[in-house]
A and B are shown apart, each in its own frame.
Chain A
Amino acid sequence: MTGLILRRLGIGLVTVLAVSVIIFFGTKILPGDVAQIRLGQAATEENVAAFRERLGLDRPYWQQYLGWLSNFLRGDLGISLASDVPITNLIADRYQNTIIVSGLTALIGVPVSLMLGITAAMFPGSLYDRVLTFVSVSLVAAPEFFTATLLVLLFVFALDLGNAVVVGSTEGKGFFELIAHFALPIATLSFVIASQLIRMSRAAVLNVMSSPYIEMAILKGVPRGRIIFRHALLNAIGPIVNVVALNLAYLVTGVIVVEVYFAYPGLATLIVQGVQSRDYVLIQGLGMIFCLTYVVLMLIADIAAYASNPRLRHPK
């Protein structure tokens, strides 16, 4: 088990390194000379050369890469090309919104979705199951902006509750005030992750429900609730935690549409701005942060799956 976790950690590390290479050299092949863009058309040859030297752009790529990587490891993400501000400052302003919204969505959306999926598996083919399947499949098909628009139409225009965009500061707000503050983005994102979580947790539990040991539990007279929560769920944890982790990673990195729609600045909009302003230092830093988010969440999911498997926990 320990060996397995160490090996998994090693794989995670290799993944991060591989992605860092791709991010670094990927931003290098973006069209246009950075110094030229940064200084504008009017800049003299000397100015451009001096600027390149200051950024270290005259050094060989591998030296630039190692320097960048060691800075990143020390927490120095460099200076933004677009605004001359340290990247860490730019991110600090934004990450709070992202963490609050994704954290609250995870806290509300994940348990609710899992419960819905598991209860659907308890009564396969029932009206409840069929309605839930219909709704979740429809949600998979609906893009985020469509779901968001429906919610805004319903709550803001029909029921006259809250605002169509997120307004005001989060400062000094408590847990429930924050939920109210971000109510519509949280609701939209919850719907987006709910569809996949419901489908997958239902499938994972149903898959286990056809095992002989579940039939044995039925023949021992074990009630349905205990069959699901004691006998089936334990064996379905592996696939479920993986889907949860993938969805949590999406909440941090992929919510650009929702951020733009509700007009609150988060990390996802930041990277789009980075691309627009050719701020490759910003893109590199955010790319690495997103990569780390994925790797760490998947690592946690895999360790949780290992830990839920008694064969790995207690070898012979």
Chain B
Amino acid sequence: MQKTRNHGDRIHGDIVFETRDLRIGAIQPDGSEIRIVKGVDFQVRRGEVVALIGESGSGKTTISLSALGYAKPGLSFTGGEALLLGQDVTRMSVDELRPLRGISVAYLAQSAAATFNPSIKINEQVTEAPVLHGTKTQAEADARALELYRALELPDPETIGDRYPHQVSGGQLQRLMAAMALCGDPELLVLDEPTTALDVTTQIEVLKAFKKVIKEEGAAAIYVTHDLAVVAQIADRVVVLYNGEIKEAGPVEEVIDRSKHPYTTRLMDAIRPMPEAGQGDASSDEHLREAPALEARGVDAGYGGIDSSGRPAVPVLRDIDVAIQRGKTVGIIGESGCGKSTLARVYAGLLPAASGDIYLDGERLSPDLAGRTREQLRKVQFVYQMADTALNPRQRIRDILGRPIDFYRTAEGMTRRQRVEQLLEMVELPVQFADRYPHELSGGQKQRVNLARALAANPEVVLCDEVTSALDTIVAANVIELLKRLQRETGVSFVFISHDLSTVSSFADEIVVLYAGMVAEQGPTDRVLSPPFHPYTRLLVSSVPEPRVGWLEEAAATREAKAGASGAVTLTETGCPFFARCPLAIPGTCETVDPPTLDDGNGHVIECHRSLAELSA
């Protein structure tokens, strides 16, 4: 479709978007300015994907939003230009910008779940921009949407638009958001961390779909991310940002393979090493002599009422046997919805198991919190993913840490003040932080306080639920180092829950792979990450992106990825729940008979109908 605006092309060549000394800041009530973006120059050409990469606070999202002439509430454009198709969008009024937004330039946000209006059907939201701006009739927009649903390989493309956002999966919603952005045939796409919230297996599909559509449409794109491995798959050029300034820019191969700036090198180094055999401590028999610190035996759990046969209305976990040895770390991995967090809640007593038992130091625990003694409560502590919501915003750090010290009486001869300072030192924070409020701390610092709050109880086992998932690569790597040090010094056990296999493998002594509420495979880290693999583990391992160009195409072509992309995750009453997605499935057996436990004799077990030899191939 020819647009009148494109006359500008003759003057501006193939540059779709360009910033010239762009400055963005927050103007304080006293008139002073906090500079967020400090003079940034870069260009995006037609058919090109430019990645903006950096940690949170680097200004990457703020810069990307300038392409839409949008500054987040509290921020304003303080200098320079942002030229979209030759027009400076930083100086336009809202009414002048409106026709550009959604038509010339479209935005894809990090969380599709939050970006879709829950009360409006998908199709109306997808087609809204072109219909509203009059560039398409409703019928044309519907046809375009259908075309995009097909191109993005969404299931039931004819009817998916009639659903509400909550009726489709997270990965599908992310692709639907791409359809929403593309429906107006924009010349520039702004993608803000569009796959960060996804599981690795879903991320591959979504990346593949994005890449295909961007290439086919010939659109230009700005891709904001902190993940260099993702950048390698999708970007043509990379702009590395730090603290609102460009540190390095160039073609993707050059920046990834021959980074010049030390900051880029640091980012590369912080990429967690690829999961491979030989990581983690090989388990010795030494610790097996005593009872595990915490153990689940035959646990079934779920939500809703429990029926007469002991089954919950919404079952989540089935027949879980997982033991956490003293002073060791057990990593629990699996896709969202597999029951990882539910298992942690069962251990903690927040969700009583429907059947089965939890043992602490070999002693049977009451399934729910109310039946546990204070001493038992003290020994098992929970660290939540979001420090922002876990820490009371109205309390000073001193009070947040002081409360468990008083409750569990762990000051032991020290004053409460000394104990708080000791805890802050343990998590490598300055003692002056005791008088601060959570909002005065950065994300990584808050997560350290969150951890210190759990340590205040002198626990034996700390349940860490996705504690690094919301953090930047470098910050997350530092938190992992801290956890390792704390374990060495205090002998505490960690249950480390994550959907990120590479983080878990860099840290855990043992790995438990959960799929649809059942243990698929468990054992020492090096054993789990080397053949024989459970077919699901193999899919997970092969889905972790590698920071090299061309990986996506290779990975997407493997049989695991092909099988993994089809089929939905369902918790089954009998048989192996992975049946529908398994490339090695044996029809007639796998979906009806519970898989046998294969034991290779090193504490490494796989639940599968295939033989260990077949799984090694």
Contact = CB atoms under 8 A, between A and B. Distances in A.
Interface in B101-135: 101-103, 106-107, 109, 111, 114-120, 128-129, 132-133
B100 A219 contact: no
Contact of A310 (B65, B119, B129): B119
Contacts of A310: 118-119, 164, 166
A308 B97 CA distance: 32
Interface in A30-84: none
Given A220-B132, A310-B118, 19 more contacts: A212-B115, A216-B109, A216-B115, A217-B117, A218-B70, A219-B106, A219-B107, A220-B128, A220-B180, A221-B100, A221-B132, A221-B133, A223-B98, A226-B132, A235-B117, A310-B166, A311-B164, A314-B163, A314-B164
A223 B99 CA distance: 10
A169 interface: no
B167 interface: yes
Interface in A223-241: 223, 226, 230-231, 234-235
Given A221-B129, A226-B132, A213 B117 contact: yes
Contacts of A215: 109
B22 interface: no
B68 interface: yes
A314 B167 contact: yes
Contacts of A223: 98, 132
A234 B128 CA distance: 16
Nearest to B114: A212
B101 A221 contact: yes
Nearest to A224: B94
A210 B510 CA distance: 43
Contacts of B107: 216, 219-220
A309 B120 CA distance: 10
Nearest to A316: B167
Contact of B97 (A221, A231, A316): A221
Nearest to B98: A221
A137 interface: no
Contacts of B129: 220-222
Nearest to A235: B119
B117 A231 contact: yes
Contacts of A311: 118, 164, 166
B101 A213 contact: no
A177 to B, nearest CB: 41
Interface string B84-101: 000000000000011111
Interface in B139-188: 163-164, 166-167, 180
Contacts of B133: 221
A316 B102 contact: no
A63 B195 CA distance: 68
A231 B120 contact: yes
Nearest to B169: A316
A219 B133 CA distance: 13
B68 to A, nearest CB: 5
Contacts of B117: 213, 216-217, 231, 234-235
Interface residues of A, number: 23
Interface string A302-313: 000000111100
A241 B70 CA distance: 34
B446 to A, nearest CB: 21
A212 to B, nearest CB: 4
Contact of B102 (A212, A219, A234): A219
A276 interface: no
A226 B120 CA distance: 13
A223 B132 CA distance: 9
A211 interface: yes
Given A217-B117, A311-B166, A212 B128 contact: no
Contacts of B98: 221-223
Nearest to B105: A219
Contacts of A222: 98, 102, 128-129, 132
Contacts of B132: 220-223, 226
B5 to A, nearest CB: 14
Interface in B288-317: none
A151 to B, nearest CB: 39
25 contacts: A212-B109, A212-B114, A212-B115, A213-B118, A216-B109, A216-B117, A219-B70, A219-B102, A220-B106, A221-B97, A221-B98, A221-B102, A222-B128, A222-B129, A223-B98, A226-B132, A230-B120, A231-B117, A234-B117, A308-B119, A310-B118, A311-B118, A311-B166, A314-B164, A316-B167
A278 B98 CA distance: 68
The 7 closest A-B pairs by CB, nearest first: A221-B101, A220-B102, A234-B119, A212-B114, A221-B98, A310-B164, A213-B117
A261 to B, nearest CB: 43
A310 B128 CA distance: 19
Contacts of B97: 221
B185 to A, nearest CB: 14
Nearest to B97: A221
B120 A234 contact: yes
B99 A213 contact: no
B128 A213 contact: no
Interface string A236-261: 00000000000000000000000000
B111 A235 contact: no
Contacts of B102: 219-222
Contacts of A235: 117-119
Contacts of A213: 114-118
